[in-house]
Copies of this chain bind each other. A is one copy, B any other.
Amino acid sequence: MKKILNNPSDVVTEMLAGFVQIHEDVQLLKDTHVIARRTPQDGKVAIISGGGSGHEPAHAGFVGDGLLDAAVCGQVFTSPTPDQILAAIKAVHTGAGVFLVIKNYSGDCMNFEMAKDLAEMEGIDVDFVIVNDDVAVFDSSFTEGRRGVAGTLFMHKVLGAAAKNGARLTDIKALADNVVTHLASVGFAISPATVPEVGKPGFELSATEMEFGIGIHGEPGYRREELKSSREIAVELLDKLEEETSWSSKKVAVLFNGMGATPLMEQYIFANDVLTLLEERGYEVVYKKLGNYMTAIDMAGMSLTLFELADAQWLDYLNQHTDAPAW
């Protein structure tokens, strides 16, 4: 394993210590791996997300005005504990309730829901959504149903803007339940990720292989084959997304997400191919975002997320200002 680090078991602690020195608008809660806004907005529903670390900048980089109020950071590729999540809830709730954005992994679902119960016993209203945007596979390692991946970023942004604009907890819940059905993602990898404490790649790909549909923890995808061109990958991913969705319109926001080790050069080339194809297929792409947002440590690869903008207000929410450093 070749990485820039000290003790592999300290990566999350040291990374978050670095994070709050670089981004001084947020704080690291004492004795726990929670990044939270220094000054939660009074009377606003607090939006919290989180999960295992290793997906940086998700989720800590999305804490800020107009986006998340806190991010709960588990160990690498490991769900945060109910205690951590409860600490985040208590740190940022200001009386209007707390909404949890959970990616669909069994451990995350269990621990976030347990934290919800604990918070409710303390009189805090909590609700949640489980994001399951990855259309690649159904029922895979660690997950019943579909996994939650980069589409979660669009969920964050829409809910963050809605909460800032004064939506109540019940409104946020209804919004989230609607948005989640309009998100679809699929990814691919050309090289694997290495968890620091494990010290070797989580899977193997030969020098000429790639894998379609791989998860953000290196979970198996739906097909392994010889490396394709960017244009061929674009066709494969868009075909898969169209096969697995049945939306009524073609007005979409698109997220091109780098997995961690893929340079921008390749990301823009891939985006060019996908956007050309979307135009050919009659899509109206009204919002575009590209970069490393929901990574898999140092995996090379990308994911493509489509978000059907079934409600005109969603685009406005995407475009509203946020000062979260990674948006």
Closest residue of chain B to A205 (Cβ to Cβ) is: B2
Q: Contact flags (1/0) for A31-75 with B, using CB distance below 8 Å?
A: 000000000000000000000011011000100000000000000
Instruction: Say what secondary structure dominates the interface of chain A.
Output: mixed
Is there an interface contact between A229 and B6, defined as CB atoms closer than 8 Å? yes
Closest residue of chain B to A274 (Cβ to Cβ) is: B18
From B56, B231, B289, B298, contact of A261 by CB (8 A): B298
Tell me whether A288 and B4 are in contact in the complex, defined as CB-CB below 8 angstroms, given that A261-B263, A265-B53, A265-B56 are known contacts.
no
Residue A79, interface by CB 8 Å: no
Closest residue of chain B to A268 (Cβ to Cβ) is: B18
Contacts of A56 in B (CB 8 A): 263-265, 268
Tell me whether A22 and B268 are in contact in the complex, defined as CB-CB below 8 angstroms, given that A2-B190, A2-B227, A6-B231 are known contacts.
yes
Complex CA gap A260/B256 in Å reads 17
Contacts of A289 in B (CB 8 A): 22
Is there an interface contact between B302 and A4, defined as CB atoms closer than 8 Å? yes
- Docked complex: A264-298 residues within 8 A CB-CB of B: 264-273, 275, 288-290, 292, 295, 297-298
From B256, B265, B300, contact of A2 by CB (8 A): B300
Complex CA gap A155/B231 in Å reads 37
Q: Contact flags (1/0) for A196-236 with B, using CB distance below 8 Å?
A: 00000000000110100000000000000001011101000
Complex CA gap A19/B267 in Å reads 9
Is there an interface contact between A5 and B229, defined as CB atoms closer than 8 Å? yes
Chain B min CB distance to A214 (Å): 14
Contacts of A30 in B (CB 8 A): none
Is there an interface contact between A269 and B2, defined as CB atoms closer than 8 Å? no
Complex CA gap A264/B56 in Å reads 6
In the complex, 18 of the A-B residue pairs with CB atoms within 8 angstroms, ordered by the A residue number, are A2-B300, A4-B267, A6-B273, A11-B265, A14-B268, A14-B269, A15-B265, A18-B268, A18-B275, A21-B275, A22-B256, A54-B265, A56-B268, A260-B263, A261-B263, A263-B292, A264-B292, A264-B295
A interface, CB within 8 angstroms of B: 2-6, 11, 14-19, 21-22, 53-54, 56-57, 61, 76, 190-191, 207-208, 210, 227, 229-231, 233, 256, 260-273, 275, 288-290, 292, 295, 297-298, 300-302
